[in-house]
């Protein structure tokens, strides 16, 4: 005679709840894998410079995992590529809210504030980045703080931060560029020219340094030297870049 097994109702309910929980977890894992795969497609488009296609893929991923910090971070980068710094700020904020230790997202948030010309908030944000003593490239936030102070016409502090960046990484081009512009703005064109000549000998293929030198020459009325420097910019900068277009325009106006 077969023995019938009876389970109390509470045990049956517990078993059903566990099964439902496992099913829900498996479904969430599946959705996460799909979202991350779509995100990676968007990241590839971003690296290729196709920011519109990148956003299309990232929007798909966001629909599946709207609060995922990595998807929001990639969205922020793609918005930056489209010059939609306001949207980039929101995306980076969402990423940081879900992943507070993402210092790289914090640094890019500062960059978005900088490009939005919100100098004070940018400075505060970059200083938060510098609180992370393990951040591998402090020269970037230091240079950006210098740029913000320069826009606020606080030239002594701007110089201080550019020099700090160069202490962290000698030869950091953005800091050299910032310091060169600082000298030009302060009317120290001879100092700027000497400084740029020295650095161009070290880094002859950097277009922005030749553009800074051309600007310094223009400031002190040395038109022929400025023309030669702008010509050098056109040799070095990509044809579709804003720097190439600026050089082309200046050469047209100077000749």
Flag whether 113 is in a domain.
Answer: no
Contact 122, 113 (CB under 8 A): yes
Flag whether 249 is in a domain.
Answer: no
Flag whether 186 is in a domain.
Answer: no
Flag whether 217 is in a domain.
Answer: no
Dihedral of the CA atoms 80, 81, 84, 87 (nearest 10)? -50
Rg (CA), the chain: 26
Query: Residue 81 is part of which domain span?
Result: 33-100
CA–CA separation, 15 vs 95, rounded Å?
37
CA–CA separation, 135 vs 104, rounded Å?
8
CA–CA separation, 232 vs 213, rounded Å?
10
CA–CA separation, 190 vs 213, rounded Å?
10
**Which H or E run contains 221?**
none
CATH classification at residue 79:
1.25.40.10
Look at the chain and report how many structural domains it folds into.
Answer: 1
**What is the residue-wise DSSP string for 190-233?**
HHHHHHHHHHHHH-TT-HHHHHHHHHHHHHTT-HHHHHHHHHHH
The pLDDT assigned to 54 comes to 96
The predicted-structure confidence for 240-249, as pLDDT tens digits, reads as follows: 999 999 999 9
Which two tokens mark 165?
Answer: 């960046």
The predicted-structure confidence for 13-53, as pLDDT tens digits, reads as follows: 655 555 555 667 677 788 889 899 999 999 999 999 999 99
pLDDT 10s digit of each residue in the chain, 255 long? 555 555 455 555 655 555 555 667 677 788 889 899 999 999 999 999 999 999 999 999 999 999 999 999 999 999 999 999 999 999 999 999 999 999 999 999 999 999 999 999 999 999 999 999 999 999 999 999 999 999 999 999 999 999 999 999 999 999 999 999 999 999 999 999 999 999 999 999 999 999 999 999 999 999 999 999 999 999 999 999 999 999 999 999 998
Angle (nearest 5°) at CA 138 between 236 and 110:
85
CA–CA separation, 194 vs 88, rounded Å?
38
The pLDDT assigned to 32 comes to 85
Flag whether 89 is in a domain.
Answer: yes
Three-state SS at 57? helix
- Taking residue 231's Cβ as centre, other Cβ atoms within 10 Å add up to 14
Which two tokens mark 171?
Answer: 């030869």
Output DSSP code: residue 99.
Answer: -
Mapped to the 3 state alphabet, what secondary structure does 90-127 carry?
A: HHHHHHHHHCCCCHHHHHHHHHHHHHCCCHHHHHHHHH
Residues 6+ apart with CB under 8 A from 114: 122, 144, 147, 148
Flag whether 194 is in a domain.
Answer: no
Which two tokens mark 98?
Answer: 């879900």
């Amino acid at each position: 005679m077969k023995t019938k097994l009876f389970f109390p109702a509470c045990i049956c309910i517990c078993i059903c709840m566990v099964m439902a929980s496992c099913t829900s977890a498996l479904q969430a894992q599946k959705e996460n894998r799909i979202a991350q795969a779509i995100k990676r497609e968007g990241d590839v488009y971003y690296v290729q410079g196709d920011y519109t296609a990148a956003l299309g893929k990232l929007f798909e991923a966001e629909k599946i995992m709207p609060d995922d910090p990595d998807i929001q971070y990639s969205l922020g980068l793609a918005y930056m590529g489209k010059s939609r710094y306001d949207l980039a700020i929101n995306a980076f904020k969402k990423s940081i809210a879900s992943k507070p230790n993402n210092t790289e997202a914090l640094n890019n948030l500062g960059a978005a504030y900088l490009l939005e010309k919100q100098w004070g908030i940018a400075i505060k944000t970059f200083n938060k980045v510098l609180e992370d003593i393990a951040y591998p490239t402090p020269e970037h936030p230091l240079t950006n703080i210098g740029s913000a102070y320069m826009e606020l016409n606080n030239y002594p502090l701007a110089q201080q931060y550019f020099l700090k960046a160069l202490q962290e990484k000698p030869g950091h081009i953005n800091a050299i560029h910032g310091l060169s512009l600082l000298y030009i703005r302060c009317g120290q064109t001879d100092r700027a020219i000497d400084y740029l000549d020295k650095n161009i000998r070290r880094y002859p293929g950097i277009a922005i340094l030749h553009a800074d030198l051309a600007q310094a020459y223009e400031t002190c009325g040395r038109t022929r030297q400025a023309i030669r420097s702008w010509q050098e910019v056109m040799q070095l900068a990509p044809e579709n870049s804003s720097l190439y277009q600026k050089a082309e325009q200046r050469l047209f106006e100077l000749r």
